[in-house]
Amino acid sequence: MTTIEYPGPPVPVNHIAPSPRRVRATIGDEVVLDTIHAVYLWEVPYFPAYYVPLADITKDVLVDENHEEKRKQGTARRFGLHTSAGDRPAAASVFTGDTLPGLQDMVRLRWDALDHWFEEDEEIFGHPRNPYSRVDALRSTRHIRVEKDGILLAESSAPVILYETGLPPRYYLDRTALNIGALERTDTVTLCPYKGRTSDYWAVRTPAGRYPDLAWSYAYPAAAVAAIAGLVAFYNEQVDITVDGERLDRPVTPFSH
């Protein structure tokens, strides 16, 4: 077995940094926030959340729910959102009491309480893009073999390898390289701020059992990783991958389970 090291999270939890990007979010056709003064805050090591100035939230959209909460970042008051498209309860935390330096009168909006988020004029999905992360999609001639329970799932010498800070390399393969008889399409859809919205997911079925959602594809990925369009990748954490004849150790990441 061979272990491939990859870069870990570059900043600690509760690290705060300014964002130079214009950030907007909407419910229906109504703009809920529009700011050029957002800050990134790392609540977890892998990616940040946006905290935005209270003054940049659309007037009268916040509804006080009269509930104070103690968060790791300090004391916050909970608010819902009221728009013409409907109400979104428990959608915002407003920091007005004791808090980390720089968060006074800042608002943390629950990502899924909004319909759409934009950095400048490009929609983003899942969470803000990490300014310390890099994502590269590189064409390669390395020989990739993917197996589960000893069953061949895919084999190719023309992968596109996606390198993303904090994650193991992902090997994207042509669909003609797949053992399609071992794959079963599912209805799962996931969102990634760097790649976009998945178009397909597959479960893997072997004589030992069925494993849900081990492979995925992006039909229309973000422009920066356009080379992976239509290709299929597997979770390294849950399948056996051999690269140029060397079996890789399964990495341990948030996707291991």
Kindly indicate the confidence band of residue 90, based on its pLDDT and cuts at 50, 70 and 90.
Answer: very high
User: Residue 171 to residues 146, 161, 194, 216: CA-CA distances in angstroms?
Assistant: 9, 5, 16, 11
Kindly indicate the confidence band of residue 98, based on its pLDDT and cuts at 50, 70 and 90.
Answer: confident
Q: Taking residues 206-233, what's their average pLDDT?
A: 97
Whole-number Å distance between alpha carbons of 66 and 159: 54
Kindly indicate the confidence band of residue 8, based on its pLDDT and cuts at 50, 70 and 90.
Answer: confident
* pTM of the predicted model as reported, rounded to 2 decimal places: 0.85
What's residue 246's pLDDT? 96
In the chain, the domains with their CATH numbers are 16-124 (2.170.150.40), 135-247 (2.170.150.40)
Letter string b/e over residues 51-80, b meaning 16 or more CB atoms within 10 A of that residue's CB? bbbbebbbeebbbeeeeeeeeebbebbbbb
Per-state percent for the chain, helix, strand, coil, to nearest 5: 5, 50, 45
pLDDT at 6 over 90: no
Starting at the earlier edge strand, list the strands of the sheet with 240-243.
151-156, 144-148, 240-243, 246-247
